[in-house]
């Protein structure tokens, strides 16, 4: 199975400042035939189900503010919140959906708070 890791486990950022979360997969999730990275980011606020933010590593889901951006390729990926807002306090998870046996593992999550 593909193992996903994230860093840091948690971070506290001042309002308006940048937050950066890293995600690493144990093997490449880049499919060479279409040059797509099978990597998504989700946001989960307390008491709510997760919400899809980013897919194909860098495509923003409809309605997601443009302060959220995804980057990276192969095994190393980053979620950036360019200017942290109070409503961005949440846990953020990366997930690979590359695996052919359809075992789509999540990273352990990164908790984002306000400093």
Partner 1 sequence: EVQLVQSGAEVKKPGESLKISCKGSGYSFTSYWIGWVRQMPGKGLEWMGIIYPGDSDTRYSPSFQGQVTISADKSISTAYLQWSSLKASDTAMYYCARLSSTSCYNCPLQHWGQGTLVTVSS
Interacting residue ranges for partner 1, rule: CB under 8 A:
1, 38, 40, 42, 44, 49-52, 55, 61, 91, 93, 95, 97-98, 101-109
What is each CA distance from 38 to 10, 13, 15, 82, 88, in whole angstroms?
A: 24, 28, 31, 23, 24
- Dihedral over alpha carbons 34, 35, 39, 41 (to 10 degrees): -110
User: Which of 88/107 has CB closer to partner 1?
Assistant: 107
Please report how close the Cβ of residue 88 comes to partner 1 at its closest, in angstroms: 18
- Looking at the Cβ atoms of 16 and 100, the one nearer to partner 1 is 100
Among 1, 79, 71, 81, CA closest to 37: 71
**Please, what is the minimum distance in Å from the beta carbon of residue 16 to partner 1?**
28
Query: CB 66 → partner 1: shortest distance, Å?
Result: 19
């Amino acid at each position: 199975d593909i193992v996903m890791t994230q860093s840091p486990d948690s971070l506290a950022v001042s309002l308006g400042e940048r937050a950066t979360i890293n995600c690493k997969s144990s093997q490449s999730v880049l499919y060479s035939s279409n040059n797509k990275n099978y990597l998504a980011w989700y946001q989960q606020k307390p008491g709510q189900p997760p919400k899809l933010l980013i897919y194909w590593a860098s495509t923003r889901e409809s309605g997601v503010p443009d302060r959220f951006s995804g980057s990276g390729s192969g095994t190393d990926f980053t979620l950036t919140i360019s200017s942290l807002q109070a409503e961005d306090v949440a846990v953020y998870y990366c997930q690979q959906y590359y695996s052919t046996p359809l075992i789509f593992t999540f990273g352990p999550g990164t908790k984002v708070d306000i400093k």
